Amino acid sequence: MFDYHVHPNYSIDAEGSIEQFCEIALERGLQEIAFTTHLDTDSEGDDCFVNVKGKRVDTRSSVWLEDYEASIKSADDEYKGRGLRVRLGVEVDYIQDIDGSLPERFYSTDFDIILGSVHLIDHIAITAEGRAENAFKKYSMEELGKKYYTHIMEAVESDLFDIIAHIDLYRRYGQSYYGDGVREIWKPYIAELVNTMKRHNVGFEVNTSPLRKGQTQPMPEVEIINALKDKGVSIITTGSDAHRPQDVGTGIARVIQLLRESGFPNISQFEKRTARNQSILQ
């Protein structure tokens, strides 16, 4: 099993060291873990920081990337002999004109996987409790869908990302505000999205975080997973979106079974930003 979406305490909203996550990953039988620290990019907000040795550092600084890369590489050297590969990843929050918001050393960092995500609509965090409602009040459900999926497709077209994370992330708080209709807003965009993903060789993840929060569907939910499968998207990863060591690997086995039922024979293993198929057939 692979958990390719994990936030150690470099992320300002996470807790737990790289070593703590790795130890629990080993206990739970994971074969690979990818650390994907948040790289927030919208300077109009107050989230563009990471923690490095107890200090807050601007995400645009290359200092943190140097420390982070060295720490992940060291962990891989330590744990691969014990049966766990540790991959160097990052989760980048996509905004327009993103290049000016990335650390200078970003493109020379030896990442194994780069996740792209959209958390903001017009600088408003639609995935933060207490803030998301500001966006929902401003936009109709249809307007939100258009803006969100426009950003997702721009992210894919940027050629910056290997995987788009939690494609229907707006559902986290949007479902309680708009109602169940928000679960349908992807449908007008799925054909164009799939064509764009295939053209740019970008995959998607199945994110298990909703499953440990009392919801019955991962992100994206099964109907979207099936649509992506039917239209030919074949690059897929699984991730817990763990922000605490005790959450690493949770729900991964359940999602693997779901993917088998949806007809996926493989998930993708990433190394140096190259995807390789790994069979999930029993």
Structural domain 2-279, CATH architecture: Alpha-Beta Barrel (3.20)
pLDDT in tens, 15-67: 999 999 999 999 999 999 999 999 998 877 778 899 998 899 999 999 999 99
**Over residues 203-211, mean pLDDT:** 96
Give whole-number Cα distances, 77 to 9, 52, 90, 115, 273, in Å: 20, 21, 19, 23, 19
Mean pLDDT of 207-211: 95
Interval 117-137: pLDDT, tens:
999 999 989 988 888 999 999
List b or e across 170-202, with b for residues whose CB sees 16 or more CB atoms inside 10 angstroms: bbbbbeebbeeebbebbeebbeebbebbbebeb
Instruction: Decide: 23 and 33 in contact? Cβ < 8 Å.
Output: no
pTM for the model: 0.96
* Contacts of residue 208, Cβ cutoff 8 Å, sequence gap at least 6: 218, 238, 239, 240, 241, 250, 251, 252, 254, 255
Residue 149 has pLDDT above 70, yes or no: yes
- Name the phi and psi angles at 26, rounded to 5: -65, -45
In the chain, domain spans: 2-279
Question: Which among 226, 273, 244 has a CA at the least distance from the CA of 106?
Answer: 273
For the segment 175-197, the average pLDDT, to the nearest whole number, is 95
Identify the pLDDT of residue 282: 67
| Whole-number average pLDDT of the chain | 94
Give me the phi and psi of 58, to 5 degrees please.
-60, 135
Instruction: Give the 3-state secondary structure of residue 227.
Output: helix
End-to-end CA distance of the chain: 13
- Output the pLDDT for position 188: 97
User: Which of the residue ranges 18-27, 98-107, 226-235 would you say has the lowest mean pLDDT?
Assistant: 98-107
Q: Which residue has the tokens 């999602």?
A: 255
